[in-house]
Chains A and B, each alone.
Chain A
Amino acid sequence: GAVVSQHPSWVICKSGTSVKIECRSLDFQATTMFWYRQFPKQSLMLMATSNEGSKATYEQGVEKDKFLINHASLTLSTLTVTSAHPEDSSFYICSARSDAEAQYFGPGTRLTVL
């Protein structure tokens, strides 16, 4: 149980394009989903928290207009990196949680912006 998937697992795009990453909880309903970013040799940094049907809460320093989050259902959240630039290249990882349970992480999406 507690399986979270992400798609795509990796993506390479040109600077200025937008990239959408999907996060799905496969065997449970996630009341809350989280988006993290991890740069090489660094720990995970929380970007935003999203609850189904409401606006995401962004961490300080994360541009909400650049990183669009939609939590359309209890099993799906999407992160869209708009007008991506090379400095946005990173490992993006989502996690999902049902009520008071622990967070379970997706396999991550490695984004490379050329």
Chain B
Amino acid sequence: QKEVEQNSGPLSVPEGAIASLNCTYSDRGSQSFFWYRQYSGKSPELIMFIYSNGDKEDGRFTAQLNKASQYVSLLIRDSQPSDSATYLCAGEGGGADGLTFGKGTHLIIQP
């Protein structure tokens, strides 16, 4: 059974600091990984995806993937209060599979 694990938090980070969110997955067949941000009562919005080992940067966000360790992370630089949300990690097995989501990490950026 595919599982994606995240620490539910809350993770509290001061404004301007780097927020580090982590995720592990059980299915070695998972090919692609996604980070979504979800505000309370809203649907998820895509931040970025990664499918190759290493780092991928997009603005203030950096996703990291280590397939050997089955580990995915998201770094948010220069954290802003508006980054406060639940961050969902999801894995996809390729083809037409849907996403397997973790339970999300609640991030709080303290002004």
Contact = CB atoms under 8 A, between A and B. Distances in A.
Interface stretch (B13-21, B40-48, B53-61, B68-76): B40-48
Interface residues of B, number: 18
B49 A46 contact: no
Chain A contact residues (Cβ within 8 angstroms of B): what range? 20 to 34
A43 B43 contact: no
B46 A43 contact: no
A51 interface: yes
- Interface of chain A, helix or strand or loop or mixed? strand
Interface of A: 32, 34, 36, 42-46, 49, 51, 57, 59, 91, 93, 95, 102-108
9 pairs of A and B residues whose beta carbons are closest in the complex:
A46-B98, A108-B43, A43-B101, A43-B103, A34-B98, A105-B43, A44-B101, A93-B43, A102-B49
